[in-house]
Amino acid sequence: MSTIGLVLRASARDLARNRWLIAYAAGFWAVTEALFYFGGSGPQVILSLLNAVLFVVPLVALVFGTAHVHASREFIEMLLSQPLSRRSVFAGLYLGLALPLTAAFLLGAGVPLLLHGAAADAPRLALVLLATGGALLTLTFAALAMVIALATDDRLRGMMLALGAWFVLTLAYDGAVLVLVSAMGDWPLERPLLALMLLNPVDVARVLVLTALDASALLGYTGALFRRVFGSALGPAVAVAALSAWAAIPVLVARRRFLRRDF
């Protein structure tokens, strides 16, 4: 455990000094402040921020994470030539990437939200869920970045893959779902659609925040299943569970890859 801590600390210290990461946190802070300054009411700011979170968090985690792991190749080799097990090196590396990213997000978006949100008439639950969703998205996409970086030796190829994954998960997937709904509109799509939402972490995070922010609209839908899911604590609970699973699966894939590959 202590070796994990050591690797984590070394990696995190390295990242904390990284100006892109600092810019990320500062950027989020600036956007949040600007939203409160210009945007007015709390729910509105949360909405704008939700869009920013769904768009930017996966992008930054993927691109930054992939680039960081590629750039850490030397560091990884150095660690692996020390008397450390690959398991602990992996754990340290992953946490060393994911935790500073999460911290940057929470600092950049969370602190101003808490400062202003307390004053604005923002629904508290939505604030908490937005922070939770953003943090879990960061963990998920940091892990996906590791999967990509560990599967590619070429940095450019890794970056293209990262951008591709981002595009698919934030835009193309929902676009395909929309096409599906339009094409299959006469079929009962409730269940398949809910399942499809659970299969994409960006959608899970979005629906999680919606349960607090747009409950009125979600409950307005006539489907009994929707009402059961969104009319109770079940919706947020399922979404948080699915997001946690989403954070865990790529970690396991990346870990398996890390334990087997050559450096």
For residues 111 and 240, which CB has a smaller minimum distance to other proteins in the complex? 240
Query: What is the distance between the alpha carbons of residues 144 and 161, in angstroms, rounded to a whole number?
Result: 10
Nearer residue to other proteins within complex by CB, 103 or 197: 197
Interatomic CA distance for residues 179 and 131, integer angstroms: 30
CB of 160 to other proteins, least distance (A): 20
Least separation in angstroms between residue 114's CB and other proteins is: 20
Of 110 and 133, nearer to other proteins (C-beta) is 133
We find the least distance from the C-beta atom of residue 109 to other proteins, in angstroms, to be 16
Does residue 243 sit in helix, strand or coil? helix
Give 156 or 195: the residue with its C-beta nearer to other proteins: 195
CB of 97 to other proteins, least distance (A): 14
C-beta closer to other proteins: residue 234 or 248: 234
| CB contact set of 120 (below 8 Å; sequence gap of 6+) | 36, 41, 42, 45
Q: How far apart are CA 130 and CA 10, in angstroms?
A: 30
Residue whose CB is less far from other proteins, 71 or 248? 71
Residue with tokens 């960081």: 68
Biggest CA-to-CA distance, the chain: 62
CA–CA distance from 10 to each of 6, 16, 96, 243 (Å)? 6, 10, 8, 28
Residue 191 structure tokens = 């269940």
Residues contributing to the site for other proteins (CB under 8 A): 3, 6, 10, 14, 17-18, 40-41, 43-44, 47, 50-51, 54-55, 71-75, 77-86, 170-171, 174-175, 177-178, 181-182, 185, 189-190, 193-194, 197, 203, 206-207, 209-210, 213-223, 226-227, 260-263
**DSSP assigned state of 65:** H
Cα–Cα distance between 83 and 250 in angstroms, integer?
26
Do the Cβ atoms of 212 and 126 come closer than 8 Å?
yes
**Shortest distance, CB of residue 115 to other proteins, whole angstroms?**
20
Q: How far is the CB of 213 from other proteins (least distance, A)?
A: 8
